[in-house]
Amino acid sequence: MEYSDNEILKAIKNQQDDKVLNNLYDSVLPKVKRYICSNSGNEEEAYDIFQDAVLIFYKQVALNKFNNAFKIENFLFSISKNLWINYILSLIHISE
């Protein structure tokens, strides 16, 4: 079952997020995996990065700082992408 962004936000705020969390993993994680695996990463790294993105998203929602103008799927993908870029840059910096 797919959930609207409003349903996802409401479920998280009411701490009834099990089903919506599974939905986010099913819908967004495959896109994150494709991006990371095509940019020098692997599935395990993609999963870790996505988990970090979900935590950032949850924190934004819990603190009422999430901007409803953003689609949740796009927000999670963008956060994942930025986390991956930062991770790769940190590896480059360490190797120098």
Rg of the chain, C-alpha, whole Å? 14
Note the pLDDT of residue 96.
Answer: 63
Note the pLDDT of residue 95.
Answer: 63
Helices (H), the chain: 5-13, 18-37, 43-62, 72-95
Note the pLDDT of residue 19.
Answer: 87
pLDDT along the chain (96 residues), means of 10: 90 88 94 97 98 96 92 97 96 74
Note the pLDDT of residue 2.
Answer: 85
Residue 32, classified by CB atoms within 10 Å of its CB into exposed (0-12), middle (13-18) or buried (19+), is buried
Predicted TM-score (pTM) of the model is 0.90
Note the pLDDT of residue 87.
Answer: 95
